Amino acid sequence: MDSNKKLGLIGKNISYSFSKKFFEDKFQKLMLKDFTYDIFDLNEIDEVETLMNDPEILGFNVTIPYKEKIADYLDELSDEAKKIGAVNCVLIRDGKKTGYNTDAFGFEKTLLLHKKAHQNKALILGNGGAAKAVKYIMEKHGIPSITISRNTEINFKNLDSETVRGHKIIIQCTPVGTFPNVEDCLEFPFEGITPEHLIIDLIYNPNYTQFILKASEKGAKTVNGYYMLEQQAEKAWEIWNFQKK
């Protein structure tokens, strides 16, 4: 007899989750009665060991702040997770725990959908797990990029509008502006943004962050993180269900 198949999301202070609704809708549509998807809010990463010892757990997604730390608890990493240095999807099969990065897949689909030929240099805002996945995809497609964070050479304090003008793809990878702090916005020289720009903000809640609103005022093409999220979730589903042994 089939036992329950548990999936879920690990993170810290998860106040909302796209993934839970996404997967529960999927189970309903596919009439899968033995699947569940839960939120595992962990205070410390080592609490994941209890979860991984549950014989019914099939795998889980990983969000802030554990995308990098989770690697220490896994037996193996996929090629892209290894190169990126961040994991957002874990498969547990026959006791073996493998980490994948489906953020890269989701971001790549988003980028290729919206990128124009003249947009050939990028600024990546932030340096967490998601930003690393973005950088990996930029390298894969030969798009030169600069990472901007609090402590990089070019940082949020000294980034100027000239640099912004010269980089036609801008990816906002920090959590600044996420619900419930929807009024927050990164310090950024928006005057450098032009109608030639593509702005991708990986946040999906709210639909339009302050960053997106300010960029669209300058005529830029703006995209939020929703499509990337859907695509990375679909890829995770594929890994959990169809990954060959």
Residues belonging to the active site: 67
- SS3 assignment, position 93: strand
Note every long-range contact of 215-220, with CB atoms under 8 Å and residues 24 or more positions apart, other chains counting: 215/170, 215/190, 217/190, 218/190, 218/191, 218/193, 218/194, 219/193, 219/194, 219/195, 220/193, 220/194, 220/195, 220/196
Contact 39, 8 (CB under 8 A): yes
Distance CA 172, CA 225 (A): 10
Rg of the chain over Cα atoms, rounded to whole angstroms, equals 19
- Give the helix, strand, coil percentages of the chain, each rounded to 5: 35, 20, 40
Q: Which residues pair with 223 in a beta bridge?
A: 200
Amino acid letter for position 144? P
